[in-house]
């Protein structure tokens, strides 16, 4: 629950920061989609199916993610690109910065990828 609330807060913050670059309708749709997936993603991460990579994206670790990772990653990439444009950096840099925050905030047992590429369970 704590992870879900934290994630919802982070998603809202990212989308707020990207708001000037994404039209309001797109922003609302992205936020809604990401919020709808939170509980499913948290469950898949707890089961070890998904992990958080060092680029700020979900990665399938085992089993079947039912397309959730691809959908979430598409929305994350859209947000990262908008933030990069706003801040004058690259989407890759934004994603890597987010990956560090996500790893720190992840629940115990979630697979996270370190900057050096090594995977471990938090």
The residue-averaged pLDDT of 15-32 equals 65
Backbone angles phi, psi at 111, to 5 degrees: -75, 130
To the nearest whole percent, how much of the chain has pLDDT over 90?
A: 66
Report if pTM > 0.95: no
Span 35-52, average pLDDT:
95
- In the predicted model, what is the mean pLDDT of residues 99-122? 96
pLDDT at 33: 95
Residue 9 is predicted with a pLDDT of 45
């Amino acid at each position: 629950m704590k992870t879900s609330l934290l994630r919802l807060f982070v998603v809202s913050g990212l989308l707020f920061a990207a708001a000037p670059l994404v039209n309001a309708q797109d922003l609302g749709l992205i936020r809604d989609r990401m919020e709808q997936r939170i509980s499913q993603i948290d469950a898949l991460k707890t089961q070890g199916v998904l992990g958080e990579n060092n680029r700020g994206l979900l990665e399938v670790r085992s089993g079947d993610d039912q397309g959730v990772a691809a959908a979430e990653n598409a929305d994350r990439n859209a947000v990262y690109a908008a933030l990069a444009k706003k801040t004058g950096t690259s989407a890759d840099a934004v994603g890597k910065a987010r990956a560090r925050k996500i790893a720190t905030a992840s629940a115990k047992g979630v697979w996270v990828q370190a900057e050096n590429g090594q995977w471990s369970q938090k």
